Amino acid sequence: MIPADQLTQARERSCEMIRQAGVCVHPEQLADIQVVDFGIGELDQIGLQMLVVANTPVLTVKLLMLLPGQTCPQHRHGPFGDSPGKEETFRCVWGELYVMMPGEPTANPHASPPAHRREHFSSWNETVLQPGEQFTSPPDTPHWFQAGPQGAVLWTYETKSTDQADQFDDPDVAEKCGKLVESD
């Protein structure tokens, strides 16, 4: 449970970032901004704010607002049914976004997870997204992302949203939000 004052503050900062980003959102929709702390109560470090603008059986579009340095913890969108898992495209609108994927570790990456949770982050290949740039994460691939020092506003375009199939690397997050990554 996020304290009411923190919830209000996160929503207000999100609205301000949306305004700065120049994204047109109807005032009534602003009330639908969801504040997600992944159940671990460290919102300024681990969390995100989102507005779901489309959610159909085939496509989900979200507007994400990340506070400065705020991190979405490492996770993968695993297979379910006859689907290989969710594909996810990040398109930066404002600020700067660091997207971290498996592969050759980037020397001196911009992104840095909270020190006390670092052991739950293993993808260190960094793509830095400036406004207008985008990156697609394939299904079932461990990834995480973090906002730059200003924060970030981004669109995400996802194939059939399957949050219930998400697997998290941090056991504290997995306990509250879904499944722990199954070892390969």
Per-residue binding letters, 82-111, with Zn ion (x by CB under 5 A): ------x-----------------------
Q: Which is nearer to Zn ion, 73 or 95 (CB)?
A: 73
> What's the min distance (Å) between Cβ of 28 and Zn ion?
28
> What's the min distance (Å) between Cβ of 137 and Zn ion?
6
Q: Which is nearer to Zn ion, 88 or 170 (CB)?
A: 88
Per the CB < 8 A criterion, the answer to whether 132 and 92 are in contact is yes
> What's the min distance (Å) between Cβ of 165 and Zn ion?
11
Q: Which is nearer to Zn ion, 15 or 52 (CB)?
A: 52
> What's the min distance (Å) between Cβ of 175 and Zn ion?
19
Site for Zn ion, residues 31 to 90, rule: CB under 5 A = 88
Q: Which residue has 């996160």 as its token pair?
A: 10
| DSSP secondary structure, 119-148, as one string | GG----EEEEE-TT-EEEEPTT--EEEEEE
- What residues does 127 pair with on adjacent strands? 99
Question: Residue count at the site for Zn ion (CB under 5 A)?
Answer: 1
Q: What angle do CA 38, 40, 46 make, to 5 degrees?
A: 65
> What's the min distance (Å) between Cβ of 4 and Zn ion?
28
Phi and psi at residue 71, to the nearest 5°: -125, 135
Q: What's the one-letter identity of residue 107?
A: A
Quote the CA–CA distance of 55 and 171 in Å, as a whole number: 28
Q: Which is nearer to Zn ion, 6 or 133 (CB)?
A: 133
Q: Which is nearer to Zn ion, 16 or 80 (CB)?
A: 80
Select the residue whose beta carbon is closest to Zn ion and give its number.
88
For residue 144, what is the enclosing H or E element? strand 143-159
For 18, other C-beta atoms within 10 Å of its C-beta total 22
Residues lying near Zn ion in the complex (CB under 5 A) are found at 88
